[in-house]
Amino acid sequence: MKSAFLQFAKIGNPSEVLQLEERHIAPPTGHEVLVRMRYAPVNPADLNFMEGTYGRIATPPCIPGHEGFGEVEALGPDVHSLQKGDVVISLLGTGCWTQHLIAPEHALAKVPQRIDPVQASMLRVNPVTAWIMLNEFADLEPGSWVVQNAANSGVGRALIQTARRLGFRTLNFVRREELFAELKGLGADEVLLDADDGLAQAKVILGKQPVRLAANAVGGDSAIRLMDLLSSEGVMVTYGAMSRRSLKVPNKFLIFKNLNLRGLWVTKWFEKATREQLYGVLEPLTEMILANELVTAVDEIVPFQRYERAITRAQESGRSGKVILDFA
């Protein structure tokens, strides 16, 4: 069987190195599963992977795509956890930009048939990152405050919605005032500009209420503002570096607050997670998607044959959500 896929043969600008190719797909053997991919988002990590700036170095030729959704078409003779017709998301962390994916059964997670396929295609990266930050780094109680920058990012929006489900309050920093109403609509308790004036407003809002957790996707001065809001022995989790500025920590935050600075790369979490841990995260997030409590914004759905358009749009600022490749 022949199948189309997207591949880059060398490191470089994604819009220049990505190409549409065709290959022969052999029937699955052993514990292998053949998945007919339906949708896959274009994430910043995918672009960085092709550029050679991601945490994992590519060895071209490579098929990018950190996450995606599809339907099981065929099974190897030793597969027991899946059946033909099941719908799944890939846990591989690469290789999803293809019409057909061959993967071992343990690298796929079954999701409910009635789940929105586009939303499911975006489940693995941003929602899981948000869930882990809210559940594994600090002992939060209902009503606890969580502060974050880049609140309009994919992770930021997922964190707002997940925190609301878990009973936490969020104070969110963004760079544009026009984002306030949208994030409030998702469940954000407070939205402020990521600047010194916003920091001053945040201090008034929080008063003496403790802040035990901060989520940092920016670095630089923005991260310093988050550290300023954290309470003694609070935790700041860095999961991104959008400003491309190093994380600088004023001595006073270590000496007088004894802050804990942690990092999160969801790829590593998946590598270490047990099956029980994995479904302990995916199941509640799936329930939220089914209940329409977790919605990832979509900017545009693009047929994979028009991948140039998808890459160009994903690299543009001012998008209203994710760009999705349609392999259906």
Residue with tokens 């550290």: 227
- Are 47 and 55 contacting, i.e. CB atoms less than 8 angstroms apart? no
Distance CA 170, CA 160 (A): 6
Q: Name the H helices within the chain.
A: 14-17, 44-51, 117-121, 126-136, 154-166, 180-186, 196-206, 220-229, 251-255, 266-272, 275-290, 307-314
Distance CA 130, CA 148 (A): 11
**Is residue 54 among the annotated active site residues?**
yes
Distance CA 108, CA 91 (A): 6
Out of 54, 239, 279, 307, the active site residue is 54
Fill in the amino acid letter for 86.
D
Angle, CA of 140, 145 and 150, to the nearest 5°: 115
Which residues are 303's β-sheet partners?
326
Least Cα distance to 286 among 80, 88, 38, 35 occurs for 88
Distance CA 101, CA 304 (A): 15
- Are 66 and 47 contacting, i.e. CB atoms less than 8 angstroms apart? no
Query: H or E segment at 102?
Result: strand 100-104
- Residues annotated as catalytic are 54
